[in-house]
Chains A and B, each alone.
Chain A
């Protein structure tokens, strides 16, 4: 962008002798520095996502933490909490991003590119890293009635609407098991948006959730999401 005009005394006699003489030297110096620098690698603190020698723990703190937090408990509800997440689930999701089998908008916009060159070993290591982190309780207090309704749905389902209880797959502490993800302490906004993805799109194919979520109403989705965010410690 062009700098804005500022009233500074100027004359208009073109002269650029020194610049032209220096130009060739500068280009040579910059190219030489570039070649030298290209050989440098710093795997202990690298943000390179196409280097199999960068350890998953380094990638987790140097790259993934930008959105998901160092401990897997991000502040922004734009990004899911990964602290204490099931290893199998994280491995499956990262591979689904890498293979483009998961195409919900945020997954596509953020994760396809980041996961594209990760090795299976790096994916396994990242899953281990997050499984070891401790999920933190949310400080935000949500509407108690909404949370109570969500608890009811989570534990008992809504039999008259053919909504099965979430607890049957996701566990009594919403901790998940294997391919079934931990939901406890997840951001309510993330839960609601993912329920919409399962219900209204083909963005996350091949899971039971496509059928399970089918009869859930909007208020029920909101309630169960509020309960999961407010999950007790």
Chain B
């Protein structure tokens, strides 16, 4: 990061602080989001080190039992992120580069409905959404409506349930799942690399029903099917127009298995998942040819939770194979592979001061059609690091600084698109996040 970037960040940090203080003032009167109001507990009960969205063992049980624990409360919350993003190279910067913006705001309907039914539903206002043609400014975000029951006694413990959701792996309870391992909040108003496995890109496009079970807090299994979120399920894809929506062919299977173990203040999970989807070449023509995507993932998470220390680490590797690319016009090769690796480590002291470091790497087969106009080498390869420091002065305000450092971007380290180098995409992201 050069000195000019630091200067701009310093100036804008003042603006963010003022915003943060005003958020603090308005939130401190009743400073607990909907789930915390329901259980009456502090955020650290469910979120590791108070760090949203990573769940503690207790938070995982809260989610698996369908958000039904506690006393029914007003099930409404709000969340907002104000931020400054500064790109290393101004020619790649967004229109608000270096300026404070109110990036996203969300409203949540979240909480216990009955003894067995609960909901976590998010609608998000996205200031930049209209620019991408992908979403309008208001859109459906994470949605998870659950039915859950639990048979537990001295000898056995079986939690089972169903989830209606709009994003494969959003129903998962570990932070190494694709829906959760990404930074939250994450860089805003700037373009990331173009390629990722399909499991990362189906949020608020699809509707899925999954059935899950957790046996003796050891073995977790989930199976389900996803289809296009249209017709009766179009409320799950609001904000995405018909032509912009990913259209799945029929029902598409999702499977997840994980084992978990807790000893003393430590807990660990190792899991796998699989997702097969077929996507129509033309979203407006449901008789158009279908590209097949097959994602296979292995992931792991470790946590050490003992006040005042929180340590956590995540590992995620997803291998995607695509097929029928020639007939669907998706790619020049009929079949391609794409591998996505993410490793992240976090330390938090007193649920207040935190730092994390993440490594990401995408590799894949070259394809002159699929990556034309994006990569001069016709390759999806991207690699880089994201360090972050953050401070949580009170439990529902977080101030953080992330830096995205790319070693490779869309296929190469230098001249990846014939003009720019990977590091031209480096950016610093300073944010104030608040929830109520």
A binding-site residues for B, Cβ under 8 Å: 1-16, 18-19, 22-23, 25-27, 34, 37-38, 40-43, 45-50, 61-63, 65-67, 70-71, 75-78, 105-106, 108-110, 112-114, 116-117, 140, 189, 193
A116, B73: Cα distance in complex, Å: 13
Q: Which residues of B contact A42 (CB under 8 A)?
A: 114-116, 149
CA distance A48 to B204 in the complex (A): 31
* B365 in the interface (beta carbon within 8 A): no
Q: Interface residue tally of chain B, by bracket?
A: 35 or more
B204 touches A3 (CB 8 A): yes
Question: Which of A25, A38, A114 is the most central at the interface, judged by chain B CB atoms within 10 Å of its CB?
Answer: A114
User: Once the chains bind, are B264 and A3 in contact (CB under 8 Å)?
Assistant: no
Point out the residue from B57, B153, B195, B246 that lies within 8 Å of A61, measured CB to CB: B153
Contact of A2 among B65, B72, B126 (CB under 8 A): B126
Contact between chains at B264 and A75 (CB < 8 Å) = yes
B103 to chain A, nearest CB (A): 10
Supply 28 A–B pairs (Cβ within 8 Å), ascending by A. Answer: A1-B141, A1-B185, A1-B186, A3-B200, A3-B202, A4-B196, A8-B291, A10-B283, A12-B133, A16-B242, A18-B234, A27-B235, A38-B113, A41-B115, A45-B115, A47-B70, A49-B69, A66-B57, A76-B264, A76-B305, A105-B307, A109-B41, A110-B41, A110-B45, A113-B36, A113-B39, A113-B70, A114-B70
* B-side interface mostly: loop
Q: Which B residues touch A22, using CB under 8 A?
A: 231-232, 234
A9 touches B329 (CB 8 A): yes
Contact A66 B61 (CB under 8 A): yes
Check B71 against A50 for contact (C-beta < 8 Å): yes
Given A3-B203, A106-B307, A18 and B231 touching (CB < 8 A)? yes
Residues of A within 8 A of B262 (CB): 75-76
Q: How far is the CA of A111 from the CA of B231 in the complex (A)?
A: 44
Per the bound structure, the CA–CA distance linking A62 and B69 in Å amounts to 8
* Given known contacts A61-B153, A109-B44, A8 and B115 CB-to-CB distance under 8 angstroms: no
Question: Which A residues are CB-close (under 8 A) to B194?
Answer: 5, 7
Q: Is B230 a contact partner of A19 (Cβ separation < 8 A)?
A: yes
- Least CB separation from B133: chain A residue: A12
**How far is it, in angstroms, between the C-alpha of A82 and the C-alpha of B436 when the chains are bound?**
34
Task: Report how far A40 CA is from B370 CA in the complex, Å.
Answer: 52
Give Cα distance in the complex from A105 to B45, angstroms: 11
Given contacts A4-B200, A116-B71, 18 further A-B contacts (CB under 8 A): A1-B185, A2-B135, A4-B182, A4-B196, A8-B246, A13-B242, A13-B284, A15-B241, A15-B242, A16-B242, A47-B65, A48-B72, A50-B71, A62-B65, A66-B69, A67-B58, A106-B307, A113-B36
